[in-house]
Amino acid sequence: MLRIWRETASRYALMPLRIFLGVTFVYASLDKLTGSVFLTDSAPGSLVGTLHAVRDSAAIPQMVDLALKAPHAFGYAIAFGELAVGIGILIGLFGRLAALGGAAISLSLWLTVSWATDPYYYGNDLVYLMAWLPLILAGTPLLSADGLIASRRRSGVAPLPPSDQAADHRRHRGAGQTARR
């Protein structure tokens, strides 16, 4: 009984991390997209204000300069990137790619916004970066679209054809069965 419990716990060990990161990134995205401050030009807490504030203390100030060339486009890219990463990791679709995207966002924020945090362990972006690593390595094999796709491949069940090709698929399958008779 204890062995079964350990195996189950080991198998599902990354689920709390996956849920936390997915919900957090979806929330962060929606907060940016629906908030009245993030995409303004000069309000306290806006992206532009934050970029100007961290420019001289960033590890790679050129990243901040690049974002300042088109701050609204950069803000939308970050927000929609967070949304894609969050949804991808929650439903487990292209889980490793979603985790890699989350790590890239966290790395860019660590190298710019939270680089000057002292001591370094007070900054949350480095912690998020490290939290993405197990999901990059393990992927999202359980309770996920990736797991469903993998199980269909293992069982020999072909993926469902796109709806516009379904009739053509049935015709070819039927023609092959007729020819064999």
Please list the rounded mean pLDDT of every run of 10 residues in the chain (181 residues). Answer: 89 95 98 94 89 95 96 96 98 97 97 93 94 97 93 76 53 50 40
What is residue 57's predicted lDDT score, i.e. its pLDDT? Answer: 96
**What is the CB neighbour count within 10 angstroms for residue 125?**
19
In this structure, are residues 50 and 113 in contact, taking their beta carbons and an 8 Å threshold? yes
- The number of angstroms, rounded, from the C-alpha of 16 to the middle of its chain's C-alpha atoms is 15
Q: Flag whether 170 is in a domain.
A: no
Q: Flag whether 168 is in a domain.
A: no
Specify the DSSP class assigned to residue 57.
G
Q: Flag whether 91 is in a domain.
A: yes
Alpha-carbon gap, residue 154 to 55, rounded angstroms:
50
Alpha-carbon gap, residue 17 to 104, rounded angstroms:
17
Number of domains in the chain: 1
**Residue ranges making up the domain that contains 134:** 14-143
What is residue 178's predicted lDDT score, i.e. its pLDDT? Answer: 46
What is residue 157's predicted lDDT score, i.e. its pLDDT? Answer: 67
What is residue 45's predicted lDDT score, i.e. its pLDDT? Answer: 86
In this structure, are residues 84 and 77 in contact, taking their beta carbons and an 8 Å threshold? no
What is residue 42's predicted lDDT score, i.e. its pLDDT? Answer: 79
What is residue 41's predicted lDDT score, i.e. its pLDDT? Answer: 86
Q: Flag whether 85 is in a domain.
A: yes
Q: Flag whether 180 is in a domain.
A: no
What is residue 181's predicted lDDT score, i.e. its pLDDT? Answer: 40
Q: Flag whether 126 is in a domain.
A: yes
What is residue 180's predicted lDDT score, i.e. its pLDDT? Answer: 43
Name the residue among 167, 174, 148, 170 with its Cα closest to residue 159: 148
Specify the DSSP class assigned to residue 56.
G
Q: Flag whether 67 is in a domain.
A: yes
Name the residue among 93, 105, 100, 97 with its Cα closest to residue 67: 105
| Residues comprising the chain, all counted | 181
Q: Flag whether 176 is in a domain.
A: no
Alpha-carbon gap, residue 174 to 166, rounded angstroms:
12
What is residue 163's predicted lDDT score, i.e. its pLDDT? Answer: 58
What is residue 156's predicted lDDT score, i.e. its pLDDT? Answer: 79
In this structure, are residues 55 and 113 in contact, taking their beta carbons and an 8 Å threshold? no
